[in-house]
Amino acid sequence: MNIEIKKSLSVLEPGGLARIIEMQEKDIKLVDLSYEKRLELLLETLIQERENRLINRLIRNAYFKYPCASLESLD
Three-class SS state of 62: coil
The alpha-helical segments, DSSP class H, found in 1-75 are 3-11, 17-26, 35-61, 71-74
pLDDT in tens, 14-58: 667 777 777 787 887 877 888 888 888 888 888 888 899 999 999
More confident residue, 46 or 11: 46
Give 69's pLDDT tier (boundaries 50, 70, 90). Answer: low
The reply to whether the predicted model has a pTM over 0.75 is no
Rg, C-alpha atoms of the chain: 17
